[in-house]
C-alpha cells in the first residue's frame, strides 16, 4: 500500500473528498458515505479516518500519529461550519456517531458509539434546542453506557444492572416508561460507576471523548469477535478498519421523525419489491432491538408520502448507481430524510441467483457480472436439502461441516446395523471414524456423524461423493460404539434415538427436524448455461457406480474423471472374493479368486459406460492397501488373545490365528506410503490384468450390443518413476489387444497416470513421454508435499489455522505456494515432453472454487469433483475466465 498523504476525508453538503472506489482506504461504509454524498443523496455530514491510520495505530504501539489529530480537527471544523453547530457548544451542541468500517462488512463485530459530544453542559443545550428533556437525558445515558463499555472497557452488565434497578424501583416494564428525572438520575449513577471502575471521572471534554472513541474503534479491530469473524469469512487481518465520524440525526424527535432499514429487492427470494421496515419516533436501535414491532416500509407511503417518495427515488438511484441490490438505513428527523448507510445487500443463494438473472434481463448488468455476483460456495445450499428455518431445534454439538445437506434418522452405531435397519427406516450412522468396509452402512444411512477426522477424512470424502450429509470430527461427542450410545456432557443418545444433522453448518440436533428439499429454479439453469458458454475448463465427476454417474450427468458433468475401482470390491457379495484373493498363498489361488471378480467388475464398467455414453470415463486401477479389505489387525489380536484366555473353540482360534498371520504380513506402519497404488499391480500383475480385462471386455461387448464406442482412459495410480508406469502400461496394452482381438473390435483408448507424488511432478517430462494423460491427485499430493496424513492431520491442522500458521486447510483449498508449484511444474514438464497431453485434476480440490480458479490459471483441461459439486465447479470455472479477462478488480466479496 502506497503511503497516502491524507488521513481524514470529509463528506457533506453534496461533496465528498473520497469516493465509492476507495473501499480499501475508507472502508466500505466510508466509501459508501462519500459516494452517496457525491451523488446528491442527503447524508449527514462527517468524515472518515482512513484504514492506514489503523495500521499506523498498531505499528505505533497503539497510538495515533499527531498529524491525524490535526487533520481530524480540521474536518470537524468543516462539519461544524456546514451545520452551524459546534461540538461541545453548551447552547447548540453538535453530536456525532463514531463507527468502524472495514473494506469488508463485519456486521456487529466492532464497536460503535453514538451521541458523542454530550456532557453535563451540552445536555442542557440539547434540552433547550429540542425541548425534549427525556430525549436528551436518554441520549446522554446511552452515550455514557456505550462509551463506558467500548472505550473504558466496563462490563456492559454493570450499566444494565443499574438500569434494571431503576426500572424495578419505578415499577417500569419498558425503558420508555422511565421519566426524564429517572434518566437524569441514572446519568448520575452511570458517572459514579465510571469513577469507581476507572478511578477517573467520565471525560467531559468532547474532543477528548472523540479521540478516545476513535482509538477504541481501532482497538476493536483486534477483539476476539472480530478476529474470529475474519477467520471464518476469509478476511485478511492486515487490512484494518476506518473510523467514520458523522453528525447524529434523530428519528425520535416526535411523530414527524422516523427511522428504518430496507432492501431494494427481497433478499430472501430475490423478488423485485421494495422491502424493509421502519418505526416512527424511534432510534435505529429500537428497530433492531425488537421492543416495538416495526411496520412494513410500504406503510411509510401512507404516513409520510413525500419522504417515502424521496426514499424510493433515492434508493432506486442507488441501486442503478451501484448496479446491485442495496441494503440501506435511513432516519427522518423532523420531516427531513437522511440516508445513513447503503451497501450491497446480503441475500440467500436462491435470491442471489434470481436477482442476478433478473438484472441481466433488466440490462442492468452483463451475464459475466451476473456470474461474478454468485459465491460458488453459497450455491452449494441450492443442491441439498436444508433444515426448515422455521423449525425449533436443539443444537447439542457442533462438528465440521463435512458434507452439506440436512438429514434426520435414528442413531445406529455399526455399519451392519445401518445397512439392516436402513432398509425399513431412516438411520444416522454414528462412528468414532469410518473405514472403507463401513461403506454399505454409509450407503444405507441418511447421514453420517463421526467424532474424529477432518474435512477430508474417509467419512467426509465418501459422504461428499455420495452427496450425503456428514458432520465429521465432532469432538464434543463421546462415541461408545460397543455400548451403542454417544454422550455430550450429561446428554446421552442411545441407538434408536432420533438425531438430525446439518452438514452445511456442522450442527448436531436432537430429535426429528423437518427439512426442505432444494428447488432448482429456471434461473439457476439459465445461469449455469451462461457459465458453460464462458468457461474453458471442463468439469468431470468422480463416480464409481452407475447411480453416481447418473447424478453427475444430471448436474452437467462432461465425463468421469475418476472411477475408483476399489469401491466396487467392498460390496457384500464381492468382499469375500477380494479377501480370498488377498489371502491366496499362490499365484494360482490368487488368479482363481480374481477370475470370480472379473465378471462383476465387467458388469460395473458396462453400467458406467452405458450411462456415460459419448463421454470419457477414466478408470483408476486398484489403489488402496490390501489390509483395508481385511479385519483390523488389533481387533484380531484381541480376539485371538481373548479366545486363548477364555479357552475358546480351538478350530475358531486356529482360523483366526491364520488370518492374523496374513494380516500381520500385510501390516504397515504407514499404509499411506506402503504397498498400494501401482505397487500392487507391479508386485501382483494378475490384478492389473484382471481389471484391464474387465474394462475392455465391457467396452467391446457394449460396442457389439449397442454400437456404443467407449474411449476408456486407464489410469495407473501412485506412479513416482516412469519405469513403474512403463511396466503397468505394457500389461494394459497386452490385455487390451488380446480382448480387442478376441471380440474383433477396435477401440481407441488411453493409458495415463495420476500425478500424486512429488517425484511424479518433478519428473513429469519423463513420465509424459509414456503417459497419454495426467490427472493430478492433489489429495495425495498434498499429503506427501506437506508430509500430512489426511487421516491424522485434523488435530494439528486446527491449531495451525487457529494460530494463523496456515491460512487454510490445504486439503480443502489447494496450497498454491507449495502443492500448486508442483502442479505447475508437472503441467509445464508434461507439456514440454508431450505437447497435447490431456491434464486434469481429480479429488477434493476439484469442487473447491479457489482451487478451480487455480486449475484454470495453470491451464488444466479439466477438473473432476464429486457429482454434487459439479455445478459449483462449472460456475467457478466461468468466474476464473471472467477474472482473467477483466482488468478491473472484480470480487465476489
Q: What's the rounded Cα separation, in Å, for the pair 790 and 402?
A: 14
**Catalytic pick among 458, 567, 577, 845:** 458
Nine-digit cell string for 661: 498371520
Q: Indicate the SS3 state at residue 576.
A: helix
SS3 letters across 363-377: CCCCHHHHHHCCCHH
Stretch that binds its own copies, among 83-91, 350-358, 666-674, 853-861 (CB under 8 A): 666-674
Residues 733-792 that bind its own copies (CB under 8 A): 756-759, 762-763, 766, 780, 783-789, 791-792
Q: Which helix (H) or strand (E) holds 163?
A: helix 156-170
Choose one: 288-296, 356-364, 704-712, 819-827; the region binding its own copies (CB under 8 A): 819-827
CA gap 193, 722 in Å, rounded: 77
Cell of 827: 503441467
Figure out which of the listed residues 796, 885, 886, 893 binds its own copies, where binding follows CB under 8 A. 796
Asked if 273 contacts 287 with a C-beta cutoff of 8 angstroms, the reply is no
Q: What is the DSSP string of 400-452?
A: EEEE-SEEEEEEE-SHHHHHHHTTTS-EEEEESS--GGGHHHHHHSSEEEESS
Under 8 Å between Cβ of 251 and 258 = yes
Which part of the chain contacts its own copies (CB under 8 A), choosing from 5-13, 147-155, 381-389, 793-801? 793-801
Q: Whose Cβ is closer to its own copies: residue 243's or residue 439's?
A: 439
Catalytic residue flag (residue 474):
no
Please pick, from the candidates 104, 229, 800, 890, the single residue that binds its own copies as defined by CB under 8 A.
Answer: 800
Contacts with its own copies: how many residues (CB under 8 A)?
Answer: 59
Q: What are 877's three cell numbers?
A: 470455472
What is the residue-wise DSSP string for 654-690? HHHHHHHHHHHHH--S-GGGSS-THHHHHH-HHHHHH
Beta strands in 443-545 (DSSP E): 447-450, 470-472, 478-480, 485-488, 491-494, 498-502, 507-510, 515-516, 538-542
Residues 240, 102 contacting (CB under 8 angstroms): yes
Instruction: Based on DSSP, count helices (H) and strands (E) in the chain, helices before strands.
Output: 34, 34
The distance of closest approach from Cβ of residue 652 to its own copies in the complex, given in angstroms and rounded to an integer, is 15
DSSP at 817: I
Q: How far is the CB of 646 from its own copies (least distance, A)?
A: 5
In the complex, least distance from residue 504 CB atom to its own copies, rounded to whole angstroms = 27
Using CB under 8 A, which of 546, 631, 818, 857 touches its own copies?
818
3 is an interface residue for its own copies by CB under 8 A? no
Q: Which stretch binds its own copies (CB under 8 A): 7-15, 269-277, 662-670, 730-738?
A: 662-670
**Neighbour tally for 728: CB within 10 Å:** 26
Minimum Å gap between C-beta 2 and its own copies is 23
- Do 439 and 567 form a contact (C-beta atoms < 8 A)? yes
Active-site annotation holds for 384: no
| Longest distance between any two alpha carbons in the chain, whole Å | 104
Stretch that binds its own copies, among 128-136, 702-710, 817-825, 860-868 (CB under 8 A): 817-825
Binder of its own copies out of 363, 424, 585, 669 (CB under 8 A):
669
Distance CA 376, CA 357 (A): 15
Q: Give me the catalytic one of 470, 678, 700, 842.
A: 842
Contact segment (CB under 8 A) with its own copies among 119-127, 296-304, 365-373, 800-808 equals: 800-808
570-573 CB contacts, 8 Å cutoff, 24+ apart: 570/436, 570/437, 570/439, 570/440, 570/629, 571/440, 572/440, 573/600
| In the complex, least distance from residue 884 CB atom to its own copies, rounded to whole angstroms | 24
Q: Is position 436 an interface residue for its own copies (rule: CB under 8 A)?
A: no
Least distance in Å: CB of 769 to its own copies? 13
Burial class (CB in 10 A: 0-12, 13-18, 19+), 435: middle
- Choose which of 174, 390, 817, 888 interacts with its own copies (CB under 8 A): 817
In this chain, which of 799, 859, 885, 886 binds its own copies, going by CB under 8 A? 799
Beta pairing partners, 838: 773
Residues at the annotated binding site for substrate? 564, 620, 756, 777-780
Which residues participate in the annotated binding site for Mg(2+)? 756, 780
- Least Cα distance to 191 among 144, 143, 153 occurs for 144
Residue 50 to residue 24: CA distance in whole angstroms: 9
Restricted to residues 548-577, the positions that interact with its own copies (CB under 8 A) are none
Nearer to its own copies, 379 or 626 (CB): 626
Cα–Cα distance for residue pair 156/380, rounded to 1 Å: 39
327 vs 780, beta carbon nearer its own copies: 780
Window 702-721: contact mask with its own copies (x via CB under 8 A)? ----------------x-xx
- Smallest distance from its own copies to CB 465, Å: 20
Q: Does 805 bind its own copies (CB under 8 A)?
A: yes
848 within 8 A of 813, measured Cβ to Cβ? yes
Q: Which of 795, 884, 886, 891 binds its own copies (CB under 8 A)?
A: 795
Q: How far is the CB of 347 from its own copies (least distance, A)?
A: 36
- Which residues pair with residue 502 across a beta bridge? 406, 507
79 to 118: interface string for its own copies, x by CB under 8 A: ----------------------------------------
User: Could you tell me the smallest distance in angstroms from the CB atom of residue 728 to its own copies?
Assistant: 10
Binding residues: 564, 620, 756, 777-780
Q: Tell me the window of 266-274, 668-676, 694-702, 837-845 that interacts with its own copies (CB under 8 A).
A: 668-676
273-290 b/e with 16+ CB inside 10 Å = b? ebbbbbbbbbbbebbeee
Q: Report 628-657 residues binding its own copies (CB under 8 A).
A: 633-634, 637-638, 641-642, 644-646
**Whole-number minimum distance, CB 721 to its own copies, in Å?**
6
Give the single-character DSSP code of 241: E
- Binds its own copies by CB under 8 A, chosen from 668, 733, 738, 772: 668
- Shortest Å distance, C-beta 475 to its own copies: 11
Draw the binding track, 301-330, toward its own copies (x: CB under 8 A; -: no contact): ------------------------------
Window 670-699: residues binding its own copies (CB under 8 A) = 670-675, 677, 679, 682-683
Of 745 and 806, the one with the shorter C-beta distance to its own copies is: 806
**Which of 194-202, 406-414, 438-446, 669-677 is the region at the interface with its own copies (rule: CB under 8 A)?**
669-677
Q: How far is the CB of 33 from its own copies (least distance, A)?
A: 37
Determine the 3-state secondary structure of 575 from DSSP. Answer: helix
Name which of 497 and 821 has its Cβ closer to its own copies. 821
Nearer to its own copies, 241 or 688 (CB): 688
DSSP letter for each residue of 608-650: HHHHTTTS-EEEE---S-GGGGS--HHHHHHHHHHHHHHT--H
- Residue 295's CB is within 10 A of a number of other CB atoms, namely 17
Alpha carbon 665 to chain centroid, angstroms: 43
Chain residues that interact with its own copies, rule: CB under 8 A: 633-634, 637-638, 641-642, 644-646, 668-675, 677, 679, 682-683, 718, 720-721, 723-724, 727, 756-759, 762-763, 766, 780, 783-789, 791-793, 795-796, 799-800, 803-806, 815, 817-819, 821-822
Residues with catalytic function: 458, 842
Amino acid at each position: 500500500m502506497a503511503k497516502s498523504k491524507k488521513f481524514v476525508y470529509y463528506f457533506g453538503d453534496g461533496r465528498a473528498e473520497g469516493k465509492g472506489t476507495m473501499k480499501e482506504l475508507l472502508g466500505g461504509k466510508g466509501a459508501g458515505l462519500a459516494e452517496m454524498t457525491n451523488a446528491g443523496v442527503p447524508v449527514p455530514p462527517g468524515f472518515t479516518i482512513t484504514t492506514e491510520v489503523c495500521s499506523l495505530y498498531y505499528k505505533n504501539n497503539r497510538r495515533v500519529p499527531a498529524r491525524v489529530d490535526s487533520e481530524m480537527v480540521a474536518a470537524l471544523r468543516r462539519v461544524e461550519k456546514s451545520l452551524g453547530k459546534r461540538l461541545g457548544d453548551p447552547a447548540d451542541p453538535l453530536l456525532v456517531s463514531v463507527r468502524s468500517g472495514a473494506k469488508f462488512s463485519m456486521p456487529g463485530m466492532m464497536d460503535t458509539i453514538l451521541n458523542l459530544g454530550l456532557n453535563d453542559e451540552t445536555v442542557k443545550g440539547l434540552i433547550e434546542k429540542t425541548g425534549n428533556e427525556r430525549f436528551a437525558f436518554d441520549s446522554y445515558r446511552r452515550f455514557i453506557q456505550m462509551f463506558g463499555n467500548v472505550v473504558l472497557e466496563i462490563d456492559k452488565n454493570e450499566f444494565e444492572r443499574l438500569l434494571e434497578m431503576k426500572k424495578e424501583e419505578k415499577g417500569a416494564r419498558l425503558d420508555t416508561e422511565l421519566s426524564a428525572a429517572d434518566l437524569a438520575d441514572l446519568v448520575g449513577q452511570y458517572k459514579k460507576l465510571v469513577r469507581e471502575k476507572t478511578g477517573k471521572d467520565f471525560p467531559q471534554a468532547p474532543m477528548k471523548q472523540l479521540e478516545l472513541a476513535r482509538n477504541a474503534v481501532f482497538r476493536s479491530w483486534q477483539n476476539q469477535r472480530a478476529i474470529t469473524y475474519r477467520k471464518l469469512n476469509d478476511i485478511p487481518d492486515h487490512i484494518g478498519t476506518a473510523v467514520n465520524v458523522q453528525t447524529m440525526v434523530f428519528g425520535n424527535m416526535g411523530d414527524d421523525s422516523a427511522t428504518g432499514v430496507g432492501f431494494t429487492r427481497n433478499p430472501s427470494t430475490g423478488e423485485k419489491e421494495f422491502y424493509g421496515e421502519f418505526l416512527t419516533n424511534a432510534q435505529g436501535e429500537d428497530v433492531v432491538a425488537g421492543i416495538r414491532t416495526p411496520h412494513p416500509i410500504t406503510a411509510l407511503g401512507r404516513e409520510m408520502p413525500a419522504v417515502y417518495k424521496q426514499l424510493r427515488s433515492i434508493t432506486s438511484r442507488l441501486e442503478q448507481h451501484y448496479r446491485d441490490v442495496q441494503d440501506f438505513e435511513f432516519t427522518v428527523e423532523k420531516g427531513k430524510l437522511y440516508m445513513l448507510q447503503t451497501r450491497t445487500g446480503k441475500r440467500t443463494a436462491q435470491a442471489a441467483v434470481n436477482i442476478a438473472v433478473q438484472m441481466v434481463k433488466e440490462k442492468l448488468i452483463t451475464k459475466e457480472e451476473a456470474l461474478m455476483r454468485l459465491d460458488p460456495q453459497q450455491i452449494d445450499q441450492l443442491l441439498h436439502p436444508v433444515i426448515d428455518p422455521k423449525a425449533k431445534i436443539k443444537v447439542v454439538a457442533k462438528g465440521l461441516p463435512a458434507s452439506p445437506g440436512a438429514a434426520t434418522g435414528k442413531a445406529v452405531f455399526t455399519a451392519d446395523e445401518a445397512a439392516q435397519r436402513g432398509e425399513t427406516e431412516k438411520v444416522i450412522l454414528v462412528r468414532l471414524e469410518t473405514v472403507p468396509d463401513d461403506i454399505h452402512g454409509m450407503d444405507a444411512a441418511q447421514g453420517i456423524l463421526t467424532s474424529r477426522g477432518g474435512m477430508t477424512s474417509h467419512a467426509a470424502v465418501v459422504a461428499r461423493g455420495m452427496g450425503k450429509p456428514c458432520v465429521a470430527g465432532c469432538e464434543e461427542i463421546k462415541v461408545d460404539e460397543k455400548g451403542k450410545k454417544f454422550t455430550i456432557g450429561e446428554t446421552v443418545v442411545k441407538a434408536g434415538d432420533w438425531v438430525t444433522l446439518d452438514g452445511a453448518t456442522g450442527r448436531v440436533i436432537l430429535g426429528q427436524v423437518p427439512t426442505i428439499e432444494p428447488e432448482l429454479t429456471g434461473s439457476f439453469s439459465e445461469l449455469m448455461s451462461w457459465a458453460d458458454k464462458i468457461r474453458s475448463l471442463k468439469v468431470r465427476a468422480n463416480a464409481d457406480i452407475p447411480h453416481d454417474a447418473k447424478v453427475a450427468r444430471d448436474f452437467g458433468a462432461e465425463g468421469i474423471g475418476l472411477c475408483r475401482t476399489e469401491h466396487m470390491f467392498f460390496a457384500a457379495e464381492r468382499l469375500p472374493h477380494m479377501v480370498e484373493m488377498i489371502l491366496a498363498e499362490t499365484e494360482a489361488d490368487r488368479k482363481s479368486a480374481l477370475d470370480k471378480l472379473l465378471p462383476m467388475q465387467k458388469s460395473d464398467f458396462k453400467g458406467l459406460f452405458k450411462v456415460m455414453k459419448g463421454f470419457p470415463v477414466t478408470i483408476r486401477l486398484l489403489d488402496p492397501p490390501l489390509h483395508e479389505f481385511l479385519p483390523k489387525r488389533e481387533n484380531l489380536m484381541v480376539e485371538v488373545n481373548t479366545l486363548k484366555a477364555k479357552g475358546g473353540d480351538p478350530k475358531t482360534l486356529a482360523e483366526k490365528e491364520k488370518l492374523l498371520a496374513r494380516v500381520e504380513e500385510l501390516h504397515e506402519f504407514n499404509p499411506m506410503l506402503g504397498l498400494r497404488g501401482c505397487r500392487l499391480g507391479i508386485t501382483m500383475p494378475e490384478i492389473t490384468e484382471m481389471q484391464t480385462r474387465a474394462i475392455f471386455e465391457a467396452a467391446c461387448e457394449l460396442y457389439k450390443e449397442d454400437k456404443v464406442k467407449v474411449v476408456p482412459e486407464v489410469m495407473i495410480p501412485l506412479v513416482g518413476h516412469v519405469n513403474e508406469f512403463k511396466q503397468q502400461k505394457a500389461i494394459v496394452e497386452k490385455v487390451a489387444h488380446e480382448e480387442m482381438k478376441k471380440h474383433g473390435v477396435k477401440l481407441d483408448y488411453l493409458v495415463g497416470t495420476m500425478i500424486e507424488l512429488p517425484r511424479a511432478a518433478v519428473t513429469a517430462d519423463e513420465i509424459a513421454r509414456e503417459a497419454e494423460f495426467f490427472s493430478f491427485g492433489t489429495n495425495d499430493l498434498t499429503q506427501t508435499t506437506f508430509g500430512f496424513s489426511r487421516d491424522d492431520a485434523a488435530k494439528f491442522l486446527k491449531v495451525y489455522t487457529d494460530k494463523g500458521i496456515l491460512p487454510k486447510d490445504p486439503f480443502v483449498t489447494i496450497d498454491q505456494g507449495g502443492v500448486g508449484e508442483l502442479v505447475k511444474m508437472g503441467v509445464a514438464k508434461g507439456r514440454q515432453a508431450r505437447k497435447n497431453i490431456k491434464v486434469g485434476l481429480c479429488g477434493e480440490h476439484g469442487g473447491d472454487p479457489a482451487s478451480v480458479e487455480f486449475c484454470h490459471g495453470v491451464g488444466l483441461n479439466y477438473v473432476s469433483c464429486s457429482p454434487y459439486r459439479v455445478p459449483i465447479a462449472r460456475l467457478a470455472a466461468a468466474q476464473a475466465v471472467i477474472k482473467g479477462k477483466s482488468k478491473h478488480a472484480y470480487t465476489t466479496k
